[in-house]
Amino acid sequence: MGASAGGLEAYRRVLAELPADLPAAVFAVIHMPANAPGLLAQVLGRHARMPVYEAEDGERIREGRVYVARPDHHLLVARDRVRVLRGPKQNRSRPAIDVLFRSAAVAFGPRVIGVVLSGNLDDGTAGLSAIKNRGGYAIVQDPSDAEFSGMPQSAVNHVQVDEQPPLAAIGAAVIAAVGGDIDLPEPTTRPELEIEMRSDSGEGRMEDMQAIGTPSVFTCPECSGTLWEIGDHDLPRFRCRVGHAYSAESLVAEQDDAVEDALWAGLRSLEENATTARRMAERFRLRPATVTLSARYETKARVHDKHAAELRRLLTEKTPADKVPQEEPPTS
């Protein structure tokens, strides 16, 4: 299961519906700050019938348990054990949902049920696609029912999901999928998933990127390395050689943040320059021989003040993109 904004309440309600004797193991990722206190297992355990544990690297997978990701670490699964790794960030997050889903698809194929809950942007979409390609089952919270619809809507747009129930019915959908006789397709062989798995753990190589993608004109916001474009035509993704990964949407969001940071730094420089110019103007104004120089500094200060005011207005006002009404989501 994967969630982001609005996901804590979603997890509480879903886990409260799952029985203590569910014949499956549940793995849960929710986006969280790196310095979060690591109390997620305790918080969710108050509402769940199944025991909830913070995942430990190398422990055996046991059914009837919920394993939650720890802060600043990816949660993965192998054929017989849990993996907890501090690999490269993906979609601006660690833990990331795509990492968990992809590892489950590789390890267990058609035995996997992927669930995408409330959240912004689109982490989980590529991972859910991997689950479907390997013959698994995909459940996505109805976007109109989610507190934050970005992640569910992205999954619905790009993946042929099996169910889109409201939050109140997701627990029942999971129970039915675990115990039911579902007609699952034959898994598709995807060698690139194995390559991406190595990259997820921070063991990627340049040769790996050359095998599954092509160099793009973009650089990695994390390490400034070349980003390689991989994935399907309608679901492009980007990876650098050390393993940082971005969907198109998360890459744009990261670049937006970088632009804003640069503009705020530019505003600070303009205001500092204006202050320095005014001080120089005051100093030179006291001496008749340097009155002309004082006037030049006054002019500089006024120009910097004007530019700073324009830049501050640009940063604090809503942009045209913010004012554009959101389009209705396409019908599946």
Given this model, what pLDDT does residue 321 score? Answer: 52
Question: Which has the higher per-residue pLDDT, 195 or 152?
Answer: 152
Asked whether residue 329 carries a pLDDT value surpassing 60, the answer given is: no
Higher pLDDT, 292 or 203: 292
In sequence order, the 6+-apart residues with CB closer than 8 A to the CB of 284 are 290, 291, 293, 294, 297
Q: Is the pLDDT of residue 204 over 50?
A: yes
Q: How confident is the model at residue 253 (pLDDT cuts 50, 70, 90)?
A: confident
* Distance, CA of 268 to CA of 209 (rounded, Å): 39
Residue-level pLDDT at 326: 46
What CATH superfamily classification does 2-179 receive?
Methylesterase CheB, C-terminal domain (3.40.50.180)
Q: How confident is the model at residue 183 (pLDDT cuts 50, 70, 90)?
A: low
Q: What is the pLDDT of residue 331?
A: 44
Instruction: Provide the edge-to-edge strand list for the sheet that holds 137-140.
Output: 52-54, 66-68, 26-30, 2-3, 113-116, 137-140
What average pLDDT is seen over the chain?
A: 88
Residues 6+ apart with CB under 8 A from 34: 71, 72, 94
The predicted model gives 169-178 an average pLDDT of 96
- Cis before 51? omega within 30: no
- Contacts (Cβ under 8 Å, ≥6 apart) of 178: 22, 23, 24, 113
Catalytic residue list: 4, 31, 123
Residue boundaries of the structural domains of the chain: 2-179, 205-239, 251-322
**3-state secondary structure string across 10-23:** HHHHHHHHCCCCCC
> Mean pLDDT over residues 205-214, rounded?
76
Average the pLDDT over 11-29 and give the result: 96
Q: What is the DSSP letter of 61?
A: P
HSE value, Cβ hemisphere, 13 Å, CA-based, for 213: 25
The span from the CA of 78 to the CA of 59, in Å, is 10
Give residue 63's pLDDT: 94
pTM: 0.81
pLDDT band at 324 (very low <50, low <70, confident <90, very high): very low
What phi and psi values does residue 69 have, to the nearest 5 degrees? -70, 145
Sign of CA dihedral 45, 103, 222, 314: negative
**Residue-level pLDDT at 10:** 96
Average pLDDT over residues 147-166: 96
Average pLDDT over residues 46-63: 95
